[in-house]
Structure 1
Amino acid sequence: MKNLSALTFLMIMTTLLSGCKSKQAENNPLLETWSTPFGVPPFDKIKTEHFKPAVEAGIRLHEAQIDSIVKNTETPSFGNVIEALDRSGEVLNNAYTVFSLLNSAESNDRMQADDMEISPLVSAHNDNIYLNDRLFQKVKAVYDQREYLSLDPQQLRLTEQTYKRFVRAGALLTPAQKEQLKKINEQLSRLGVQFGNNLLADNNAFTLVIDKQEDLAGVPASIQSAANTEAVNRKMEGKWVFTLSKPSMIPFLSYSERRDLREKLYKAYLERCNRGDSTDNKQIVNEIAKLRLEKARLMGYPSYGAFALDDEMAQTPENAYALLDKLWQPSLELAKKELEEMKAIKKAETGDDSFESWDWWYYAEKVRKQKYDLNEEMLRPYLSLDNVVQGIFQLSNRLWGITFRPVSVPVYHKECIAYEVLDKDNKHLGILYFDFFPRPGKQGGAWCGAYREERYEEGKRIAPVVTIVANVSRPATPNGVALLNLDETETLFHEFGHALHSLFSQVHYAGIGGVEQDFVELPSQLMENWAFEPDMLRMYAKHYQTGDPMPDDLIEKIQRSALFNQGFTTTELLAASLSDMDIHTITEYRPIDLNAFEKEMLNGKRGLIPQIEPRYRYPYFAHIFGGGYAAGYYSYIWAEVLDKDAYEAFVESGDIFDRTTAESYRKNILERGGSEGGMELYKKFRGHEPDIKPLMIKRGLIEMPADTAARPAPLDTAARNASIRRIIGQQ
């Protein structure tokens, strides 16, 4: 019977693909079998005009597959319902995944315009699946019998997660409510695309152009050179251009003696999409907030935050708030102490201790120099991009024995590079792309994605194709070496942790490949812990010209400055997390003056000092209005509780490169995807629930024990049995 079903499916697929091809879609590489090395996307053949026809054809094919599941007259089973559903939609998924990832990394006007049509199409298609009552009844029939079907653990988990996914998508709503939900989802999809397009346009629109050398006072020569290269690329020879990308903006804010220019640059960053012009996002944010609340109400929740967190480790906004509130006051008090140190320096230099947000980076750098005899320009020569990447590779080899081999495969931009990742037995684990530098068609920030997720077909593992996209400092000259700062170095370690999560995955079904939002940052943030360990720095931090290792006195300075500026860093992170939660826990919508709402909730209610802005303001908060972190930005600090406690396992072993601990972490977390809940996976690795103390010590919120070698003891038996809410949220 399985052979007959496969043959029928093949005939349907062939008929559809041949019948639906218009002249525009003929020879569309997104609709063909990818014969590229390792099955990577055929980037060398894909053109912008291929995406929309491919997505439309993929939708039609997926509809036929769903229809085949619904019309199957056999008794609903795991194989003909749950597994069939999990295996469906590959053509659509391939096309839409490539489109979505490229639209973030290498976009253009045509792609952005097409996205206004493509994303709502895909959203409506997903609704048609999850709100299909006949399909849901088949899913429910299998779910109701799951305990009697002799399912293995992954099959049982997939069945339960599939049912839950349908319910959370509205499968239990009335027909009228389903129609209302479809309209809401379609509108949200369009608004999210428009938000992102506006932000990209605003990012690209502003430049700080300097045409006098004296206006660069204080800016290091390497930063000047990079700004000059940017100007040359923009046909502005003889000038210097600074942009709103972090690798350009932060060094200028840190070193420029021109306070007026620092103000101009930082205000441009803060006021993105907030100026009442064609790219203003305030009304879009209002509409998104209103629609999300309507959706939550439809689903039976008082707020969107309550709806979103019901499926996460935190479970409720109250638990997320409990963690944020626990950290807020000590972080803010630490930041205030940092401010007083900087104001004292400013007064000594200028006779005036007035202080604004655009002064923070400049005077923080002076504090670092004064207290620790350290500035980042001393470190950059040892943190070349090549050295950092090789350091990450060396770390991965020491922990798990994996290796990385450069490969020649199609790429979407000439600056991309690719590696084959080989396991300790030289078996193929996957392909890893890197795309490092900012450019006009790329969104800001850094992220990790997968052009193909790991899965199994007929017992054979299909390896993932993973991509790391970043915006780190370009070389100061066209043929020069990219020299990174500490933050950029840490960012690459972070994103590589996400990549390992994909590369190591051994999950048989796509439907359980993902983890909870507030668990997903654990693998990435755990990797950050190694970045500046002395033994790690000795391994990879080599001078880009001489090859000499970073001197021990510099390494010692990095260690002594570990708590530098932690009050600021933690406070701005928490402020953004609170802003996200605040707007998503409203229970009655009224038009929101976003600037006033933010000021009231952060400065008025919680006492945020005006010298610190939240990491993201609503009009450019892409994580929550243009990405997947709505009511979920708290997950970065939530997962940091996990990652700091998890790193203690390596410390307690006596060797931060301990293979046994690394293998346990790989086996119990990295390979498992979402085959179990995050807390269950964590406890299998760690042996107990997480302790918040390592996080608070790392961020300087409580003092390190007098014996610096001493570490917080593991939780006692009673604490191990306590809930995550008590440990993280209310302890």
Structure 2
Amino acid sequence: MTDATAFNPLLAPSPLPYGIPDYAAIEPGHYLPAFTQAFAEHRAEIEAIASSPDEPTFANTVEALERAGDLLDRVSRAFYTVNSADATSAIQEIEETLAPLMSAHADAIALDGRLFARITAIRDRLDELDLTPEQRRLVERLHIEAAHAGAALDDAAKERLTALNARLSVLTSRFEKNLLADTNDLAVVVDDVAELDGLGAGELSAAADAARERGLDGTHVITLTLFTGHPYLASLTSRDARRRLLEASRSRAHRGNANDNSETVREIVRLRAERAELLGYASHAAYVTSDETAGTPEAVQALLRELAVPAARNAQREKAALQRIAGDAPVEAHDWAFLTEKVRQAEYDIDTAALRPWFEAERVLHDGVFRAAQELYGLAFRERADLPGYHPEVRTFEVIDADGAPLGLYLLDLYTRDTKRGGAWMNSLVAQSDLRGTRPVVVNNLNVVKPGAGQPTLLTLDNVTTLFHEFGHALHGLFAHVTYPHFAGTAVHRDFVEFPSQVNEMWILWPEILAAYAVHHETGEPLPAEVVERLRASEAFNKGFETSEYLAAAWLDQAWHSLSSAEAAAVTDVAAFEAAALAEIGLDDPAVPTRYSSTYFQHVFAGGYSAGYYSYIWAEVLDADTVEWFRENGGLVRANGDRFRSRLLGVGGAKDPLEAYRDFRGRDADIAPLLTRRGLGG
């Protein structure tokens, strides 16, 4: 690791526009020294607040807390962006060292009884204070979150809680490191290119490049995606190749592998359950949902059960249709996507793989994603090649608001690489705050396979959907305008955060948007009108499978995190527990595997979705209802965008999310549009 302590660009505010980190000057060796100083500065700031002899006020306690930790916030955002998207061995080494330090630092603040007493004193006098609605909510949220973190525990309980949090930080880091290593190790090597029949030229060139990067010239390598079902399963004509690919995906970090996550999963579950009990909750799921819009795990599980029965029933109907095409050979999991495309072609005359020439990435970005934002919100986007990203493939765009004022920066990191974790996500490099005088810098990461040199990047329809989805998160981060950083961007309840991103998917097939971006990259011909109509007609196609695989993962998350510590300690076999849980809800069809199996379920064992993976379907109730509102009110027009922005996206976390939704919609959400969308009604 480079000794870069003599000059450390992380220790001062970035000189670049919008405060974007100067990654051209930052070396791995800068991070730990910067964290060391940031921890010390933050501790001193917190100590000054906690030990103040003055009567607690909003200014000297709550606002002071919001001002504190500016250096730590800057360094953390710069580092963790790289840790997720370009985790070289040097970055991984830093993260392993850092994880327990970050946990201990956070606990020292969250569990400080002096701070909690000051916040409580202010909370108890709320009605006497002349505060704005945002200030009032900030006091309430700080008190709730401190209590939720364990600030009211006695000293012995706090000591145990700190130890639990430290150990969990190590385990979640280990889980992610193991998964990344196994995902790379289990990439499928194909010696005979004939086995890759069905893939396009760009996909073949990407597989050849991946092989060369591994020193396997003359072969092809298929890298694995985070979720169970690989996109190539829909195209590969070789059943054996499909079987190998799915088996590799499903075996990641399983027992017996060099990067086995089984014991890590068991320990994470047990320690999370113990922590929840220490905090007064029956389970980790009860602990998590108590501060979400769902309220209780029972409410979550009731929704999942309500949807699981019709979803499984629809999946069986779809399976029967596939079996008619498969003939005598029973339909297996690795056949589903391939046979589904045959049924789609037969019933709707659509070949989704053949659509890729109409989904060239640059056009999708500018004439699809950006154009929808321009029409709806009046935004403009200008690429800034002068602003460095954390990796050469990162692109930076300046976002200009409808009134011509600069709004923020949007960074796009499109391609997969061995140092990037799987999946797709949004994060903030700089959070907007009037108090700190900052404007937003947001990042979107995807994992699109990069084609060989000279080949265009042609997206699948799933890739297009992911890009629109993640850009919905980016809009949330760009639009939220708050005073206090606590409420910046997507800092809302976990089971609400997916709502804006899902709403943004509606523009994918919106006529004027689709017509602008769905243009053949060679001929310039638009996607034929009859194909567009068939696409719309097939929107509910295969929803039984898609809903079932998602619900299986959401239920698995709930099953693990509904255990008591004693029940968790009694689990000796991760695979057996998983099988029993899926059988219990009726989602155990081997042909419809869970979207994530436990040992590679990164969202819940290394991300922020533990006991919260249900959030996607929970938020989709709001999403589907909102799509109906847009359709009823003229669709893609500025008046609608301005209303959605001002009443929902623009408030960040400064307003109760369901109150904000009622303000936008005029009522609570109706579940009927979701049931219709997924074919689950009746």
* TM-score between both structures, scaled by the size of structure 1: 0.90
2:393 alignment partner in structure 1: 415
1:404 alignment partner in structure 2: 381
1:661 alignment partner in structure 2: 640
Secondary structure (helix, strand or coil) at the match of 2:422 reads coil
Q: Post-superposition shift, 1:211?
A: 2.5
2:425 alignment partner in structure 1: 447
Q: More displaced, 517-526 or 112-121?
A: 112-121
1:365 alignment partner in structure 2: 341
Using the aligned pairs only, state the percent identity. 39
Q: Post-superposition shift, 1:607?
A: 4.7
Q: Post-superposition shift, 1:605?
A: 4.6
1:304 alignment partner in structure 2: 284
Q: 1:332 aligns with which of 312, 318, 323?
A: 312
CA contact (8 A) 1:157 1:512 kept: no
1:73 alignment partner in structure 2: 53
Aligned AA for 1:558? L
Aligned AA for 2:355? L
1:582 alignment partner in structure 2: 559
CA-atom RMSD, angstroms? Answer: 1.7
Q: Post-superposition shift, 1:318?
A: 0.6
Q: Post-superposition shift, 1:251?
A: 4.1
CA contact (8 A) 1:445 1:471 kept: yes
1:691 alignment partner in structure 2: 670
1:177 alignment partner in structure 2: 157
Say whether 1:388 aligns with 2:367: no
Aligned AA for 2:312? L
CA distance in 2, matches of 1:65, 1:604: 51
Check 1:487–1:174 CA distance in 2 against 1; reply closer, same or farther (3 A cut).
Answer: same
CA distance in 2, matches of 1:248, 1:625: 16
Instruction: Summarize deviations over 1:350-408 as a string: whole Å, max 9, x none.
Output: xx231211111111111111111111232111111111111111100100101111112
Alignment of 1:270-285 (within 5 A): 270-285=250-265
Alignment of 1:307-322 (within 5 A): 307-322=287-302
Instruction: Summarize deviations over 1:265-319 as a string: whole Å, max 9, x none.
Output: 1111101100323311111111111111111111111111001000000000010
CA distance in 2, matches of 1:66, 1:636: 36
CA contact (8 A) 1:161 1:511 kept: no
Alignment of 1:628-647 (within 5 A): 628-647=608-627
Instruction: Summarize deviations over 1:592-635 as a string: whole Å, max 9, x none.
Output: 22111111111255253111111011111000000000000000
Alignment of 1:526-541 (within 5 A): 526-541=503-518
Q: 2:545 aligns with which of 568, 583, 599?
A: 568
Aligned AA for 2:399? V
CA contact (8 A) 1:650 1:658 kept: no
CA contact (8 A) 1:162 1:511 kept: no
Q: Post-superposition shift, 1:213?
A: 3.2
CA distance in 1, matches of 2:294, 2:276: 17
Aligned AA for 2:639? T
CA distance in 1, matches of 2:419, 2:41: 31
Aligned AA for 2:74? N
Check 1:605–1:418 CA distance in 2 against 1; reply closer, same or farther (3 A cut).
Answer: closer
CA contact (8 A) 1:116 1:190 kept: yes
Aligned AA for 2:476? H
Aligned AA for 1:128? A
Aligned AA for 2:548? T
1:491 alignment partner in structure 2: 466
Alignment of 1:458-537 (within 5 A): 461-475=437-451, 477-513=452-488, 514-537=491-514
CA distance in 2, matches of 1:77, 1:185: 31
Alignment of 1:168-247 (within 5 A): 168-245=148-225
Q: Post-superposition shift, 1:33?
A: 2.3
Secondary structure (helix, strand or coil) at the match of 2:381 reads strand
CA distance in 2, matches of 1:537, 1:516: 32
CA distance in 2, matches of 1:699, 1:380: 25
Check 1:239–1:24 CA distance in 2 against 1; reply closer, same or farther (3 A cut).
Answer: closer
Q: 1:681 aligns with which of 660, 666, 672?
A: 660
Check 1:113–1:313 CA distance in 2 against 1; reply closer, same or farther (3 A cut).
Answer: same
Q: Post-superposition shift, 1:214?
A: 2.6
CA distance in 2, matches of 1:559, 1:109: 45
Q: How many residues align?
A: 674
1:722 alignment partner in structure 2: none
CA distance in 1, matches of 2:244, 2:288: 38
Q: Post-superposition shift, 1:48?
A: 0.9
CA distance in 1, matches of 2:200, 2:521: 18
Secondary structure (helix, strand or coil) at the match of 1:433 reads strand
Q: More displaced, 293-302 or 535-544?
A: 535-544
Q: More displaced, 375-384 or 22-31?
A: 22-31
CA distance in 2, matches of 1:96, 1:346: 52
Q: 1:603 aligns with which of 554, 579, 583?
A: 583
Alignment of 1:69-108 (within 5 A): 69-108=49-88
Secondary structure (helix, strand or coil) at the match of 2:428 reads strand
CA distance in 2, matches of 1:345, 1:611: 15
